[in-house]
Amino acid sequence: MTENPYETDALLQQYLVFHYAGLAEQFPFSFGASDALGFPVRCVSEGLDFESLKPEARALDLGCAVGGSSFELARHCSAVIGIDYSEAFIGAARQLQSTGKVSATRLDEGSLQTRLELEIDAGIDRARLSFETGDAQDLRADLGQFDVVLACNLICRLPEPMRLLSRLPELVRPGGQLFITTPFTWLEAYTPQANWLGEGAVDSFAGLRASLEPMFKLERAWDMPFLIREHARKFQYSIAQASRWRRADSGK
Ligand SMILES: C[S@@+](CC[C@H](N)C(=O)[O-])C[C@H]1O[C@@H](n2cnc3c(N)ncnc32)[C@H](O)[C@@H]1O
């Protein structure tokens, strides 16, 4: 791939709107699709088991983009690291972390745009967060262990998903939780077909499961719709496969 789309201004603005704009600012219709709004927040509110989460929990958000789920994690965890490969996305996440706000341009139609002033909820302690650029397939060795690891809509954007999946047992503390979503949108532009999970994506979820078990135990698997606005009358409606996994207590 020549240019990384996640470094473009068009996707930066699209993701700022996706992660932080009000729900009616994203989808101002009373019919359809409302079940798919608020995905970055729902990855935390629907994805995690809060009963087993201690207040001093450490969390890692892999492929965090502009950080929407990372900020939501900080409501429940005392330290959150967000990592993404895109310098543009991490730059915006850092601005939100340091100032609590960022401007974004929402595309309406043609060249018509609306400028939005986006803010982090004042109830979130931004000092709990840090953001860094990094490759999820080659994470720095000294990250340590986490009570929560999120990898939302990331694995089908990696050239070699197995390089991340095989590192996860080390990253999630025994008893900790791993939350993964993916629409399994396999594209050669991101992932060579030989590396698609589940025997070339014959059954991607079976492949994901085979790569995580027995170090992780599957607690729950379900469907999670999400909506990304392209312009006022065009939206991407996707259904991610969501799954929550518990790190086994022993090495096994
Ligand atoms: C489809 S977006 C999902 C972002 C976010 N988790 C969400 O659910 O909205 C994929 C993200 O993965 C990031 N990404 C792609 N390859 C990566 C890599 N090798 N390491 C870390 N992040 C990567 C992209 O920059 C982008 O932010």
**Each residue's pLDDT tens digit, 235-248:** 999 999 999 999 99
pLDDT digits (tens, 9 = 90+) for 2-23: 689 999 999 999 999 999 999 9
Q: What is the mean pLDDT of the chain?
A: 96
pLDDT digits (tens, 9 = 90+) for 35-48: 999 999 999 999 99
Pairing of strands 172-182, 234-247: antiparallel
Domain-located, residue 102: yes
Domain-located, residue 252: no
Least confident of 76-90, 141-155, 190-204: 190-204
Q: Which atom of ligand 1 is nearest to the CA of 6?
A: 25
Hey, what are 214's tokens?
């027995």
Ligand 1 pocket, residue 61 CB under 6 Å: no
Domain-located, residue 92: yes
pLDDT digits (tens, 9 = 90+) for 204-237: 999 999 999 999 999 999 999 999 999 999 999 9
Domain-located, residue 131: yes
| Structural domain harbouring 92 | 5-247
Hey, what are 103's tokens?
């401007």
Domain-located, residue 170: yes
On the question of pLDDT at 192 being above 70, the answer is: yes
CA R_g for the chain = 18
Q: Is there a contact between 229 and 27 (Cβ–Cβ < 8 Å)?
A: yes
* Closest residue CA from atom 17 of ligand 1: 85
CATH number of the domain to which 169 belongs: 3.40.50.150
d(CA 69, CA 49): 15
Mutate to test the pocket of ligand 1, among 9, 72, 139, 157 (most ligand atoms within 8 A of CB): 157
Tell me the whole-structure pTM to 2 decimals: 0.97
d(CA 208, CA 218): 11
Mean pLDDT of 188-203: 92
* Closest residue CA from atom 25 of ligand 1: 86
Identify the pLDDT of residue 1. Answer: 56
Q: How many domains does the chain have?
A: 1
**DSSP structure class, residue 191:** S
- Phi, then psi, of 151 in degrees rounded to 5: -140, 90
Identify the pLDDT of residue 252. Answer: 47
pLDDT digits (tens, 9 = 90+) for 72-130: 999 999 999 999 999 999 999 999 999 999 999 999 999 999 999 999 999 999 999 99
Q: How far away, in angstroms, is 16 Cα from ligand 1 center?
A: 13
What stretch of H or E contains 237?
A: strand 234-247
Q: How far away, in angstroms, is 213 Cα from ligand 1 center?
A: 24
Ligand 1 pocket, residue 38 CB under 6 Å: no
Q: How far away, in angstroms, is 134 Cα from ligand 1 center?
A: 10
Q: Which residues contact 76 (CB under 8 A, 6 or more apart)?
A: 44, 48, 50, 53, 55, 57, 59
pLDDT digits (tens, 9 = 90+) for 169-179: 999 999 999 99
What share of the chain in percent tops pLDDT 90? Answer: 94
Domain-located, residue 213: yes
**DSSP structure class, residue 50:** G
Ligand 1 pocket, residue 226 CB under 6 Å: no
Q: Which residues contact 108 (CB under 8 A, 6 or more apart)?
A: 114, 231, 232
Mean pLDDT of 186-195: 96
Strands (E), 95-215: 101-109, 112-119, 129-133, 146-152, 172-182
Domain-located, residue 184: yes
Mutate to test the pocket of ligand 1, among 133, 154, 228 (most ligand atoms within 8 A of CB): 154
* Closest residue CA from atom 10 of ligand 1: 154
Least confident of 64-73, 163-172, 192-201: 192-201
Q: Is 31 exposed, middle or buried (0-12, 13-18, 19+ CB in 10 A)?
A: exposed
Q: Where are the alpha helices (DSSP H) in the chain?
A: 9-20, 23-26, 39-45, 68-73, 87-99, 161-165, 168-171, 197-201, 204-212
